[in-house]
Amino acid sequence: MGREMLRWLYWLSLTLAAALVVYKIYLNFFEQDFAAEHAAQVEDIEAALNGRTNFRFAVVGNISNSVGIFERKIIPLLNRGDYDFVVSAGNALSTGGEDKYRAIYRTLTRLNMPYLLTFGPQEESRLGGFRFYDHFGPLHFSFGAGNNRLVFLDSTGTTDFGWQYRWLEEELAAADETNLFVFSAHPLYPVKRSGLFGLSDDNLFAGDERERFAKLIEHFEVDTVFSANFPVFDLETHDETRYVVTGGAGGLVINNERSHYHYVSVSVEGDQVAVEERRLQIGQHPIWRNLESFWFFVHSLFYVGYLNFILLVSIFVAVAIWLKTRIFTERDYYPDFDTDPDTMLDMPLRIAMFTNNYLPFIGGVPISIDRLRQGLVQLGHTVLIVAPRYPNTDADDPFILRVRALLPLGRHREFRLANVFSPRLYRQVFRFRPDIIHVHHPFWLGSAGVFLARRLGIPVVYTYHTRLEHYAHYVPLPGPLFRNLVSHAVVRRFANRCDAVIVPTESAEEYLRTIGVRRRILVQPTGIDVEKFRAVPEERLRQLQAEHAPRGERILISISRLSGEKNIDFLLNAIRTLKIGCAEPFRLLIIGDGPERQRIDARIRELGLADSVSLLGAVAPEQIPVYCRLGDIFLFASRSETQGMVILEAMAAGMPVVAVRSSGIDDIVDNGFNGFKTPADTAQWSARIEQLLLDPALHKKLSANAESFADNFSISRFSESVQRFYAGILVDQKTAILPGTVNTDDDKGEHGDGK
């Protein structure tokens, strides 16, 4: 069988198993119910025996939801046998599950006469007592029919034995019928064990109550007591009361002289009661008898027409195929040296990128995507951006697919939730015919991108931009739940659905491996336009210097979105500490906007920093290099970044960096080389800023190092590295043996030119 066929069989088995589980749930909770069946059955029996002294009934024990014996062999005999009613002496079900109750109900409806069930241990199992009560009636009861009284006991102990004893005594004392019949699933006397095995006293009536109940029954001269619970036919007489054990109506038997399939026929003529075993002659040779007996047991076990059987078979098939692909499929964990990704580098690709935010929305992710787009276009590729539509955006660009927003999100409605249900979105992407899809968020439009990639049969790449756990304040879930569980699960599941992942730093790769991402990973920081940060007009710098630092103050720069995850309060507290302890005059310019702006502005005034800190708001992207060139030191307090692209831009402009240590910073800021990184401690952090302000030689050295470090992160290197990564993924897809299996490179990280 081909591997592709095995793959389809595997998913078919899982689908079938899931469908059967759903169907089981439907049967248990939504199928038309049946209730208090005994009430109707007792009325029918009373009507049938009214005024009669002669009648016949059958007693069966241990039906155990049997199809092969009870339903197909015994029921036809009973229907032809001129019986007035049938009584189960106990264990009519294999277990007390809801599906088994429904199964026995459907089986009993095949009888052409009334029926009654005795509550036994198998009816009681799996919390079956309340199901018996709902579907059939009380666990113990009695009624008179003609000149006869039938009494049913709960021998499982579900009903207190002391209460039952008193009830039974009153029932028997008040009975004026000629014939008394008692039904108890557990026998009141031990049965003969010769030739049998596994017959334990645990299957008898409760030991400390057995003698007391037996004496009461014999005192009131009960004619016959019927029980089940053993796979035998046994008839004993104690003080003129017959005790019949019948356990051959479908459960597993040994098929010998003592244990075989049978039922009991009871004939009543006035005050004369005759009890006769009706043995089923099935099979002669002992081997065939045992095999048939075992098959009937299996068939009974999986009844509710076969659903359990198919469910288990489906699961076993799925597991077997999975094991086959894991154990018996040869795996080569080394690269395929017969394939060369370089052969695809000159091939122009059509790339569709899906993002939940894009320009004109200002942020690290949109800027990173735009730079990658520019670099790939310069390399000869065609890039389609799929992004939300913003007010007043230019819709003329044929390579930006603006998707109508469903609703704005965020405190200031700055995020746009794109309509992923738009048919236009899918038509346009299909019409674009991409060779590869690149997604930039692990949800919403990112999920739409994965869906389209699977429909088109092309690879999908995911760039891990953001530490999702730091955005709990935007999510309508308890903060600890989202931070500690949901965010990591979302990233892990989404990344493993993709064919490969790009991360900006080694620490981000380590995080993904830690949470369980198995896919191929490329470590590639976002590129920056280094030349823009060098070619800044001196006249413009002098204007800004005069505007923001007219008395020659040293200028500190921080570029950040003004939101909770950016740690702005830490920044302000540290600046207050610096202002108190540092003699060197300075001015901090905070560039950026966001939902926290008013609160941060109020916080600046509250800390007495209005003469030292300026909120400049959003600045046009083309002006960012000017401000970076203006600054002496770049400050960065955020701990939610995977890279912190603005840090590289600041370095390109010659600013050493002082940052709070985090996963996105650790790989970029080299302590004492191009800046400093400290724990989230305002005293340590402000001390490093003061050190750079007061030591011109150190500042000059770190500034030069920062510029040379940033030279390694050009947009061209960035896009060329991603292009090579695309080529490798496309080659892997073409040589893949079984789609959907783990790529042989899944456990290896890759590094871009910048690392």
Instruction: Summarize pLDDT for 377-391 with one digit per residue, the tens.
Output: 999 999 999 999 888
Rg of the chain over Cα atoms, rounded to whole angstroms, equals 41
Please tell me the distance from the alpha carbon of residue 107 to that of residue 116, in angstroms, as a whole number.
13
Confidence (pLDDT) at 468: 66
pLDDT of 430 strictly over 80: yes
Please state at what angle helix 696-710 crosses helix 645-652, rounded to 10 degrees. 110
Q: Which range has the worst mean pLDDT, 6-10, 249-253, 359-363, 562-566?
A: 6-10
Q: 284: pLDDT confidence band, cut at 50, 70 and 90?
A: very low
Residue 224 pLDDT greater than 50, yes or no = yes
pLDDT of residue 203: 83
pLDDT 10s digits, 107-165: 999 999 999 999 999 999 988 999 999 999 999 999 999 999 999 999 999 999 999 99
The pairing of beta strand 633-636 with beta strand 657-660: parallel
- The model's confidence at residue 755, banded by pLDDT at 50, 70 and 90, is very low
* Res 448 pLDDT > 90: yes
Class of the CATH-defined domain 535-713: alpha beta
Say which residue the tokens 């389209």 belong to.
452
Residue 195: C-alpha distances to residues 236, 291, 292, 723, 752 (Å): 18, 19, 20, 80, 78
362 has a pLDDT exceeding 80: no
Distances (CA, A) of 84 to 61, 88, 161, 242, 662: 18, 14, 31, 21, 83
Query: For the chain, how far is it from start to end, CA to CA, in angstroms?
Result: 46
Report the length, in residues, of the chain.
755
CB 524 within 8 A of CB 504: yes
Q: Is 637:613 a contact under the CB 8 Å cutoff?
A: no
- In this prediction, residue 68 has a pLDDT band, given cuts at 50, 70 and 90, of confident
Higher pLDDT, 324 or 630: 630
d(CA 304, CA 302): 7
CB-based contact 109:79 (threshold 8 Å): no
pLDDT, residue 335, reads 54
Name the least confident of 141-155, 425-439, 484-498: 484-498
Span 275-284, average pLDDT: 80
The pair phi, psi for residue 691, each rounded to 5°, is: -60, -40
pLDDT band at residue 215 using 50, 70 and 90 as cut-offs: very high
Taking CA atoms, 690 is separated from 164, 548, 669, 682, in Å, by: 89, 20, 18, 12
Instruction: Kindly report, residue by residue over 72-118, the tens digit of the pLDDT.
Output: 899 999 999 999 999 999 999 988 988 789 889 989 999 999 999 99
Q: Cα separation of 140 and 154, whole Å?
A: 5
Average pLDDT, stretch 459-465?
Answer: 94
pLDDT band at residue 374, thresholds of 50, 70 and 90?
very high
Closest CA to 150 of 104, 86, 214, 74: 86
Distance CA 712, CA 546 (A): 33
279: β partners? 262
The mean per-residue pLDDT over the stretch 279-294 comes to: 61
652 Cβ contact list (under 8 Å, min separation 6): 528, 530, 533, 534, 628, 706, 707, 710, 711, 713
Weakest mean pLDDT among 19-28, 160-169, 621-630: 19-28
The two tokens of residue 291 are: 């095999």
Whether the CB-CB separation of 479 and 473 falls below 8 Å is answered with yes
Check residues 45 and 251 and name the one with the higher pLDDT.
Answer: 45
Q: Is residue 70 pLDDT above 80, yes or no?
A: yes
Does 428 have pLDDT greater than 70? yes
When pLDDT is averaged across residues 555-576 and rounded to a whole number, the result is: 91
| Range name among 187-201, 247-261, 486-500, 626-640 with the lowest pLDDT average | 187-201
Q: Which comes out higher in pLDDT, residue 222 or 19?
A: 222
Residues whose CB falls within 8 Å of the CB of residue 222, separated by 6 or more in sequence, listed in order = 151, 172, 180, 181, 182, 241
Average pLDDT, the chain: 85
More confident residue, 742 or 158: 158
Structure tokens at 601: 């502005």
640-682 confidence digits (pLDDT tens): 776 668 899 999 999 999 999 887 687 789 999 999 999 999 9
Contact 304, 103 (CB under 8 A): yes
Q: Assign a CATH topology to domain 37-193+200-282.
A: Purple Acid Phosphatase; chain A, domain 2 (3.60.21)
**256 vs 697 pLDDT, higher one:** 697
Contacts of 659 (CB under 8 A, 6+ apart): 635, 636, 637, 644, 647, 665, 669, 675, 676, 677, 678
- Rounded CA separation 368/358 (Å): 10
pLDDT of res. 283: 44
Q: What is each CA distance from 353 to 14, 400, 434, 739, 742, in whole angstroms? A: 33, 9, 10, 22, 23
Q: What is the pLDDT of residue 330?
A: 63
For 499-550, how does the pLDDT look when each residue is reduced to its tens digit (9 = 90+)? 999 998 888 899 999 999 999 999 998 888 888 898 888 999 999 999 999 9
Half-sphere exposure (Cβ direction) of 385: Cα atoms closer than 13 Å: 27
Find out whether 127 and 97 touch, Cβ atoms under 8 Å. no
pLDDT at res. 4: 67
Report which DSSP code applies to 466.
B
- Give mean pLDDT, residues 225-241: 94
3-state secondary structure at position 50 = coil
Where in the chain is CATH 3.40.50.2000?
A: 341-527+718-751, 535-713
Q: Let me know if domain 341-527+718-751 sits in CATH 3.40.50.2000.
A: yes
Q: What are 746's strand-pairing partners? A: none
Name the pairing type of β-strands 141-145 and 148-152.
antiparallel
pLDDT at 740 over 80: no
pLDDT digits (tens, 9 = 90+) for 35-61: 999 999 999 999 999 999 999 999 999
Element housing 307 (H / E) = helix 307-323
d(CA 187, CA 172): 19
Q: Are 679 and 560 a contacting pair, CB within 8 Å? A: no
Q: For residue 475, what pLDDT band results from cuts at 50, 70 and 90? A: low
Largest CA distance in the chain: 125
| Continuous H helices in 157-242 | 161-174, 207-219
Of residues 185 and 207, more confidently modeled: 185
Query: What was the pLDDT predicted at 57?
Result: 98
Residue 595 near residue 412 (C-beta atoms within 8 A): yes
Q: Is the bond into 360 cis (omega within 30 degrees of 0)?
A: yes
